A and B are shown apart, each in its own frame.
Chain A
Amino acid sequence: MRGLRLSVNNLACERGERRIFEGVSFTLLPGEALVITGRNGAGKSSLLDILAGRLPAAGGVILLDDAGERTLPECLHYVGHRDALKTALTAEENLQFARDFLGNPALKPREALDAVGLAHAARLPVAFLSAGQRRRVALARLLVAHRPLWLLDEPTSALDTASQETLRLILERHRESGGMIAASTHSPLFLKDAKEIRIERTLTPPPYAGEGASSSSVFPSPGPLGHPLPHRGEGTGGEG
């Protein structure tokens, strides 16, 4: 698991024959986190979908180094908008299934639920849980199987403040053990020296606005501890 390295070069995405974004590049080393920001519809989720292997990329390369024989989908956890929980099963059964199915088992379902503060709900069918609690069960799935790369699509949505802090601690612990995180978000995640990438929607030339081409800007990691993030919106993109 150590030494896994993800590099994405000049990635482009098309949905329904429209170019959503292009020219997205970044690298992720063990222990690094990437925060993906952008307006609604800019393609944050699509970027994560491409990484998770759900969508084909319209261009660009995704390289995975030192993964051995594993493919990219086998190295990652994906927690998206849909929680991928079966409402008829209990929280514990859902996690037990994920643990058996994904392989490389880590924490037991009970321990994982305890880590997200839901130990009391282990035997309740997921149908009885609130949106925030379901999200926490889905996040507990990150803990039941070892996967070096975590893809999180707006992980804090529906979470209360205390749970957001729990999530931050879980994410930091994952990074300390050499894991990598790519998260799309609107609200700050408060991760230590996270790289940030802002995705801008590619504006199609006529019949639409006729403005400039693609503009997505990638900021390198600020390096040693504690540097503030560069401001959004500057960089190589050249908007408008």
Chain B
Amino acid sequence: MLKSFRALLVRDLKLAARVGGSGVMGLIFFLMIVTLIPFALGPDLNLLSRIGPAILWIAALLATLIGLDRLFQADQEDGSLDLLRLSHAPLEIVVLAKVVAYWLVTGLPLAIAAPFLGLLVALSPEGMLAMVVTLLVGTPALTFIGAVGAALTSSLRRGGLILAILVLPFMIPTLIFGVSAANAALGGTIPFMTPFLVLVALSLIAAVVGTVGAAAALRSAE
């Protein structure tokens, strides 16, 4: 079972490296949003640094959504999904391997890029550190929630929009606690750990529910 997991993880990472695809696309999309907003808001550094965490989190959420529709659709189209069903490893393991690979090529780069993009929204060094930590902990929740939507829309040709509509409401709690944890690190009345631990909990819950839910969706799709 571990061998199947590793084989699929390695395959998806290799594919991401060869094709480029969603990882690079998400990162560029992230960069675009974060670059555009200071131009739209004007050169008010206080305002920017105050809403900076929120901007970065919204951009990260949208960047995760881009390319998510291909998570299972690409395998569905070329028949690989039929091959993936034939393993002795259950579909949950298949989903887990694919989501982990997807997060490694999209979520992780976003978290690593956050300090550099934090410069654009005048974040303080503590703010940048808080962004890296909250994104590192929070983006898995976004990916796992998105995986359920991706599995549900895997057989639809243009499932991208439906996917976004389906999963965005469920991503809101992650957004709220991600932003409030990042803000708490910058000062304020609530201690950092309170929203941060909720964010951790959201990621852990999403990891379980998302894996089981996406596997169930793949099973019921014909």
**Which A residues contact B (CB, under 8 angstroms)?**
52-56, 70, 73-74, 76-78, 80-89, 93, 97-98, 100-103, 141, 147
Decide yes or no: A103 and B3 within 8 Å by CB, A85-B78, A89-B18, A93-B14 being known contacts.
Answer: yes
Beyond the given pairs A82-B79, A89-B15, A97-B11, 5 more chain A to chain B contacts, judged by CB atoms under 8 angstroms and listed by A's residue number, are: A54-B85, A82-B82, A88-B15, A101-B83, A103-B4
Q: Which of A77, A86, A87, A147 contacts B11 (CB 8 A)?
A: A86
CB-based contact B78/A83 at 8 Å: yes
Q: Which of B14, B15, B87, B222 contacts A101 (CB 8 A)?
A: B87
Which A residues touch B11, using CB under 8 A? 86, 89, 93, 97, 101
Which A residues touch B6, using CB under 8 A? 100
Any chain A CB within 8 A of the CB of B8?
Answer: yes
Which B residues touch A73, using CB under 8 A? 85-86
Dominant secondary structure of chain B at its interface with chain A? helix
Any chain A CB within 8 A of the CB of B194?
Answer: no
Closest to B84 in A: A101
CB-based contact A88/B222 at 8 Å: no
Any chain A CB within 8 A of the CB of B88?
Answer: yes
Decide yes or no: A86 and B80 within 8 Å by CB, A74-B88, A93-B14, A103-B88 being known contacts.
Answer: yes
Which A residues touch B119, using CB under 8 A? none
User: 1/0 contact trace for B52-88 toward A, CB 8 Å?
Assistant: 0000000000000000000000000111101111111
The interface on chain B, measured as residues whose beta carbon lies within 8 A of the other chain's beta carbons, has a size of 24
CB-based contact A54/B82 at 8 Å: yes
Any chain A CB within 8 A of the CB of B7?
Answer: yes
CB-based contact A76/B78 at 8 Å: no
Which A residues touch B83, using CB under 8 A? 78, 84, 98, 101-102, 141
**In whole angstroms, how far apart are the Cα atoms of A97 and B3 in the complex?**
10
CB-based contact B7/A100 at 8 Å: yes
**In whole angstroms, how far apart are the Cα atoms of A188 and B101 in the complex?**
43
**In whole angstroms, how far apart are the Cα atoms of A85 and B81 in the complex?**
10
Q: Which of B10, B18, B77, B85 contacts A88 (CB 8 A)?
A: B18
Which B residues touch A84, using CB under 8 A? 78-80, 82-83
Any chain A CB within 8 A of the CB of B19?
Answer: yes
User: 1/0 contact trace for B120-160 toward A, CB 8 Å?
Assistant: 00000000000000000000000000000000000000000
Decide yes or no: A78 and B4 within 8 Å by CB, A55-B222, A86-B78, A86-B80 being known contacts.
Answer: no
Which A residues touch B89, using CB under 8 A? 101
Which B residues touch A87, using CB under 8 A? 78
**In whole angstroms, how far apart are the Cα atoms of A74 and B88 in the complex?**
5
Task: Report the minimal beta-carbon distance from B70 to chain A, rounded to whole angstroms.
Answer: 13
Which A residues touch B15, using CB under 8 A? 86, 88-89
Which A residues touch B10, using CB under 8 A? 97
Decide yes or no: A80 and B79 within 8 Å by CB, A89-B18, A100-B4 being known contacts.
Answer: yes
7 closest pairs, A vs B, by CB? A82-B79, A100-B7, A84-B79, A88-B18, A101-B7, A84-B83, A97-B11
Task: Report the minimal beta-carbon distance from B126 to chain A, rounded to whole angstroms.
Answer: 42
CB-based contact A100/B79 at 8 Å: no
Task: Report the minimal beta-carbon distance from B74 to chain A, rounded to whole angstroms.
Answer: 9
CB-based contact A74/B86 at 8 Å: yes
**In whole angstroms, how far apart are the Cα atoms of A223 and B105 in the complex?**
57
CB-based contact A77/B86 at 8 Å: yes
**In whole angstroms, how far apart are the Cα atoms of A69 and B18 in the complex?**
38
User: 1/0 contact trace for B1-29 toward A, CB 8 Å?
Assistant: 00110111011001100110000000000
Task: Report the minimal beta-carbon distance from B81 to chain A, rounded to whole angstroms.
Answer: 8
CB-based contact A80/B82 at 8 Å: yes
**In whole angstroms, how far apart are the Cα atoms of A77 and B83 in the complex?**
8
User: 1/0 contact trace for B169-213 toward A, CB 8 Å?
Assistant: 000000000000000000000000000000000000000000000
